Structure 1
Amino acid sequence: MFCKAILLAFSAASVVLGAPAPAQVTDTDVLQFALTLEHLESAFYAQALAKFDAQAFADAGFPDWVRGRFVQIGEHEAEHVKFLSGALGAAATQACEYNFPLDSPRAFAALSMPLEDVGDSAYIGAAQLVSDKGVLTDAASILSVEARHAAWVSSAVLKFQGWNGPFDSPLSPSAAFSIASLFVKSCPASNPPLPVKTFPPLTLSEAAPAHGALVGLTFTKPTGAQASAPAFVAWFDGLGVVFSNVTADGQTVVPPGLEGTVFAALTSVDSGMPTDDTLLSGFTFAQFPFDSHVDTP
């Protein structure tokens, strides 16, 4: 179900390119970016819960408390929107029109977990851009709630693991936006430019591939100076990055050892930490569920 739901999400979504990024990122820019993500999450829960009532969740095999918890998460996201909008005042980013693949309660649940992971990782990645310690504290308070959401959905609802590993992956604003924008149809022209660089989308042929599997990649080939650059897949797993080669026919072998929600993007380098200058595509995500296990001596 996870694989089908996520592939549907990426095949059905449309990409909206943002305005040019500000030359210098301010705390206001970061808050507007955070509000953009919170608007998306809030709309995601509002639309799904309006479409699927308690009986729909029951028919999908969920116990009655699952929908109730999703209602609470939706209220959290709406409160985040209210809080950030209040902080920004007249400069607040407005909600966009969205395109979520909400075919069933299970598809909704399968997509909610990685979306919460994106929110969590976006706050981590943007932390270094914040100069005001009060703003940073407020963002950290939201970040921890997003992480709890993701853990609950993954473990209690989807019956996967409750965490990815000892570290979560930081995503730059451009990286997080490249995923969020897949679910945006259009935005108000009055919205301020976000501190992001836009990239063409990347799709994996499997959203939950096996380690060592050969997976297909769908992406737009680079033009200009990057047209002849070699392509690699960078797999962001916690604070580390693992690379795999891209074949001439657009396939790659999934590296071993990846666990939980892992973000991936095409890059022209195969070492170090990829940057906006070395990325060849936007980000996608893959899921690598793992059982409880312990290492014995």
Structure 2
Amino acid sequence: MLFRKSSLLAAVLSILFPSMGISAPIDAPEIPPRYSGEAQKLADPTYGPIPGESDLYNYYWGTGRPFPGNISDPIFPTRHGPPGPDDWTWQNLLSAEWLIFEFYQQGIEAFSPQDFVKAGMPNTTYRRLMEIRNNEAGHLRIFQNQISPTSIKPGRCQYRFPFTEPVGYLALMTVLEISSMAFLTGLVQQPTISFGKGAMLAIAEVETRHEAWALIDIWKTSPFGGPADTIFPFANEILDSTNAFIIPGSCPPENPEFPHPRQKLPGLTAGKNTASLVPGSNIKLEFPDPKNQPRFDLYKQYYAVFFHGVLNVSVEIDTKGFPGREIWVTIPKGFETKGVIVALIADVWGAPGKESVVAGPAVILEQPSRLATALLKNGGN
């Protein structure tokens, strides 16, 4: 493991954030007394193992949390001044990354290599999950370093994931990874600094490798998702759905809103009795949170909008009589049974902006499609 200062990294960061000094800050950070201050060392981007240089993010085989996942507190600003132009985007991504990192960490702690073998998985499964966990730890550090020193860098919350056995864990992993790929296609459109767009693309490529491994080794299916992965423009709407895994009240109170801005849309899913989620299937639309239900204008037309690959297809839906009357829609049969479909409900054809979205999104796994319906019947979204 490498702990040395990196002159190359310092030079790159000085270009991206001219106000950032690698030496001592001008203003001492104001840290609430409940925190030890250990996390403030991470304000220096050259502190600790550096992604791209250290093998920690590839070949660490311990069950304990690897750096920086072992330091859960937020990192407070070390400079006064306006936030960086892309700080909200990177704060959103760092908060989401804490959740993904913790998902893999909890799996490594909950299961043993033999648990996966007994479940019929390859004997390399546990070690591959460790490698992915290590990659995600590297993502934490990369995202921390992208947030300017005038903004807070979110800390870890506590998370609860709905898995009890190895196969269910791997099924949820597949959904999380492919959802990450979809939301990154929207998130990559947000940075104003070109380097940030490239960094997000590089992360998306790594997530694709994770998903390809699961499809080949775990689900014994083709890793190819067609000529294009699904482009979904409203990244924060997918991020918002992950709040279901966060234990209420467990986040550091100084953490920024996640995601920002947050629409708090009603969730969307297919009915649990759905037999198939492949293109051409007729499905009942449900809104799982009884406290957050959509309100439909009696005199307005609404649409189920399906995103797949580079396509965006709208289907008129009949919302009259809801909630007493069920809402049904047919998934466009012209879609290939590959990759993922993302669906939402909008009050404008094509959902041209996030303001037009009324509910959703729902991530519909097509590869393998049998897994999508199995998750649905077991209570997954």
TM-score category (smaller protein): 0.7 to 0.9
Q: Tell whether the 8 Å contact from 1:265 to 1:283 is kept in structure 2 after alignment.
A: yes
The match for 2:109 is 50
How far apart in 1 are the matches of 2:281 and 2:109? Answer: 38
The match for 2:342 among 238, 252, 263 is 263
Give 1:287 shift.
Answer: 2.0
The match for 2:185 is 124
The match for 1:100 among 139, 142, 161 is 161
Give the paired residue count: 266
Q: Tell whether the 8 Å contact from 2:122 to 2:218 is kept in structure 1 after alignment.
A: no
How far apart in 2 are the matches of 1:51 and 1:71? Answer: 13
Which residues of 2 match residues 2-81 of structure 1 at below 5 A? 26-81=85-140
**Larger proportion of helix:** 1
Q: Tell whether the 8 Å contact from 1:233 to 1:266 is kept in structure 2 after alignment.
A: yes
The match for 2:236 is 174
**1:204-237 deviation line (CA, Å, top 9, x unaligned):** 124952433221211254338x565333221110
Q: Tell whether the 8 Å contact from 1:178 to 1:201 is kept in structure 2 after alignment.
A: no
Larger Rg: 2
The match for 1:283 among 361, 364, 368 is 361
2:152 matched to 1:91? Answer: yes
Which residues of 2 match residues 195-274 of structure 1 at below 5 A? 195-205=261-271, 206=274, 209-219=277-287, 221-223=293-295, 226=297, 228-247=299-318, 248-258=325-335, 259=337, 260-269=339-348, 271-274=349-352
> Which amino acid counterpart does residue 182 of structure 1 have in structure 2?
A
Give 1:290 shift.
Answer: 6.9
Structure 1 pair 128–288 and aligned structure 2 pair: CA distance change class (3 A):
closer
TM-score by length of 2: 0.64
How far apart in 2 are the matches of 1:255 and 1:151? Answer: 25
Structure 1 pair 116–25 and aligned structure 2 pair: CA distance change class (3 A):
farther
> Which amino acid counterpart does residue 253 of structure 1 have in structure 2?
T
Which is worse superposed, 177-186 or 72-81?
177-186
5+ unaligned residues in a row in structure 1: which ranges? 1-23, 292-297
Give 1:241 shift.
Answer: 1.4
Structure 1 pair 80–169 and aligned structure 2 pair: CA distance change class (3 A):
same
5+ unaligned residues in a row in structure 2: which ranges? 1-82, 319-324, 370-381
Q: Tell whether the 8 Å contact from 2:219 to 2:368 is kept in structure 1 after alignment.
A: no
Structure 1 pair 87–288 and aligned structure 2 pair: CA distance change class (3 A):
closer
Q: Partner of 1:91: helix, strand, or coil?
A: coil
Instruction: Extract structure 1 runs of 4+ deviating beyond 4 A.
Output: none
> Which amino acid counterpart does residue 124 of structure 1 have in structure 2?
T
User: Pairwise CA RMSD of aligned residues?
Assistant: 2.5
Q: Tell whether the 8 Å contact from 1:33 to 1:173 is kept in structure 2 after alignment.
A: no
> Which amino acid counterpart does residue 175 of structure 1 have in structure 2?
E
Which residues of 2 match residues 130-141 of structure 1 at below 5 A? 130-141=191-202
Q: Partner of 1:195: helix, strand, or coil?
A: coil
Larger relative contact order (Cα-Cα within 8 Å, sequence gap ≥ 6): 1
How far apart in 1 are the matches of 2:244 and 2:352? Answer: 21
The match for 1:189 among 253, 272, 293 is 253
Give 1:35 shift.
Answer: 0.8
Q: Tell whether the 8 Å contact from 1:48 to 1:102 is kept in structure 2 after alignment.
A: no
Q: Tell whether the 8 Å contact from 1:124 to 1:170 is kept in structure 2 after alignment.
A: yes
Structure 1 pair 122–191 and aligned structure 2 pair: CA distance change class (3 A):
same
Structure 1 pair 273–266 and aligned structure 2 pair: CA distance change class (3 A):
closer
**1:67-89 deviation line (CA, Å, top 9, x unaligned):** 21111111111111122123335
**Larger proportion of strand:** 1
TM-score by length of 1: 0.81
How far apart in 2 are the matches of 1:195 and 1:207? Answer: 36
Give 1:160 shift.
Answer: 2.8
**1:236-261 deviation line (CA, Å, top 9, x unaligned):** 10111123343451222222133321
Q: Tell whether the 8 Å contact from 1:234 to 1:241 is kept in structure 2 after alignment.
A: yes
Structure 1 pair 63–252 and aligned structure 2 pair: CA distance change class (3 A):
same
The match for 1:165 is 226
How far apart in 2 are the matches of 1:262 and 1:55? Answer: 34
> Which amino acid counterpart does residue 160 of structure 1 have in structure 2?
T
Give 1:163 shift.
Answer: 3.0
Structure 1 pair 135–213 and aligned structure 2 pair: CA distance change class (3 A):
closer
**1:113-166 deviation line (CA, Å, top 9, x unaligned):** 221122222222122221112222222221110111122212321123313221
The match for 2:375 is none
Q: Tell whether the 8 Å contact from 2:351 to 2:357 is kept in structure 1 after alignment.
A: no
How far apart in 1 are the matches of 2:275 and 2:129? Answer: 23
Structure 1 pair 153–208 and aligned structure 2 pair: CA distance change class (3 A):
farther
How far apart in 2 are the matches of 1:227 and 1:161? Answer: 45
Matched-pair identity in %: 25
